Structure 1
């Protein structure tokens, strides 16, 4: 039964499910994990695969170089009562500047890309 209480939640885990067949790296739209051990790790969208990661986590998506659509689903698992300050964590020094400055793209710590 709903008691009317407000519960403050934060994103805890991000999930991306890729739904486009035969995606090629040269098409762009690649996920960059900017906090991978040893430097940036690149993930090519592969049909019927999923990537999950804890957030906050610095990541980016490379600009698209094709008119072909890239389909994916994304969402988050929420954690009640937990808050984190995104301003306390600087971007990794190896974060690609192009990912942050390309039109329609941004480097982000959230479980989403813009």
Structure 2
């Protein structure tokens, strides 16, 4: 991951509404959520949600898929994992570390 990609992700998550939207979508995992479900759960206006979803998509933190007339938003787990690896890159001076081992196990799956 490049610095610019990490900065984009951090900027997207650095706003409270976007962070709440992202966390809600992560809670649903690969089932995802439609915009109407997000609006219902968070009580934010449609236009506001569209603005925030665009930023999360631009940061590659979300994936979107059209199913019939609905858009389904899911977390981009691969990108989140890359972001975590970026943050922990060279943790403990490159020596084996208990912080990184769970990430390596998750990546191996």
Going by fraction, where is helix more abundant, 1 or 2? 2
Q: Mark yes or no: TM-score above 0.5.
A: no
* Bigger strand fraction: 1
